[in-house]
Amino acid sequence: MPLVHVSLRTGKPEVYRQAIFDSLYRAMRETLGVPEDDQFMTISEHEAANFRYGASCFGITRSDDVVFIQITVFNTRTPEQKKALFQRTAELLGESPGIQPENVFVNVLEAAKENWSVGHGLAQFA
């Protein structure tokens, strides 16, 4: 049950943004075993004045095409699954929409199953 938030600089066409959604969903399906149609994702676009990144932090050279991806998941994923997710995400975003791997910044947040309600005011996974 991932919840995904993507932040990027404004100005990319709709087809680019949709490719981000598609590539992220595929990466999560392949590495985290996300069920079919489990797609809860947003993209937020930011003007240059409202979007800052370390252009060379940690020895990685980034450009204005950097995307910040924050994925909240159940706290049941292994370190190996998360590593696979990071790698596959960079690969697929490189293929479509063509984001360089140095511009793929991913953060995984974990939450216990009892912290989720996906509708009707119920704790479906508790």
| Pairing mode of beta strands 104-111, 41-46 | unpaired
2, 13, 35, 79: which one is catalytic?
Answer: 2
Q: What is the CA radius of gyration of the chain?
A: 15
Beta strand residue intervals within the chain, DSSP E: 3-9, 41-46, 67-74, 104-111
Beta strands (DSSP E) in 10-125 are 41-46, 67-74, 104-111
Q: What angle do CA 65, 82, 100 make, to 5 degrees?
A: 20
Residue where the block lists tokens 């600089």: 9
13 is catalytic: no
Query: How far apart, in whole angstroms, are the C-alpha atoms of residue 87 and residue 80?
Result: 11
Instruction: Please identify every residue annotated as catalytic.
Output: 2
